[in-house]
Chains A and B, each alone.
Chain A
Amino acid sequence: ELKVEQNPLFLSMQEGKNYTIYCNYSTTSDRLYWYRQDPGKSLESLFVLLSNGAVKQEGRLMASLDTKARLSTLHITAAVHDLSATYFCAVAWVRRTYKYIFGTGTRLKVLA
């Protein structure tokens, strides 16, 4: 069974600082996703990473994928308060059927 782990679980950081969220998964997968969830809200897709070495950037967020290490990172550059949310990675798992298994989530709080 595929396991997806994120760390840290909680992250409190000052505005203007950089930080990285890590997502490890236990078996081979051909795609990885990052989602954002604001408190009490739904999940919003941020990135889809499809191949080893893939890198995508949107504003202050950059996601990368290393399929050999089974690791994805979400890097935050010069954090601002609006980035405060919970971030989930999700891995697509194909064993005759297609499942999306989510990580535990990282709750990010950016302090002014």
Chain B
Amino acid sequence: DSGVTQTPKHLITATGQRVTLRCSPRSGDLSVYWYQQSLDQGLQFLIQYYNGEERAKGNILERFSAQQFPDLHSELNLSSLELGDSALYFCASSLSPGDNNEKLFFGSGTQLSVL
């Protein structure tokens, strides 16, 4: 168990809908990362937050947004869903980017199916 909690584990929804994925980082970790894993695109970095502030953006669509709350949990909001958004969404956390012992701890993921 990595200590990173993601909910829900599975989500089935229809095109055009909006969903929210939730992530609670490991105790003490300040940084949260979101990744999208699909068969054809591999593991794509979406966005990173550190202590409540957005720090880095990757290939995140405008229909997607995220935030990190004061208690450090994070939510990824996906709207106007399309079939191509079906994927496994991972959250990862770490203590402090740049630290020599830094590494990512991954949650178990949310499997999103858009029908």
Contacts and interface: CB of A to CB of B under 8 A. Distances in A.
Q: State the majority secondary structure of interface residues on A.
A: strand
A99 B48 contact: yes
Interface of B: 2, 33, 35, 42-43, 45, 48, 55-56, 58, 90, 92, 97-98, 100-109
A94 B45 contact: no
Contacts of A97: 48, 55-56, 97
A2 B39 CA distance: 21
Interface string A86-99: 00101010100111
B42 A105 contact: yes
Contacts, number: 55
B103 A102 contact: no
A33 B103 contact: yes
Task: Give the size range of A's interface with the partner.
Answer: 20 to 34
B48 A98 contact: yes
A43 B97 contact: no
Given A31-B102, A42-B108, A45-B103, 20 more contacts: A31-B100, A33-B103, A33-B104, A42-B106, A43-B104, A44-B2, A45-B104, A48-B101, A48-B102, A50-B100, A88-B43, A90-B104, A98-B48, A98-B56, A98-B97, A98-B98, A99-B56, A100-B104, A102-B45, A105-B43
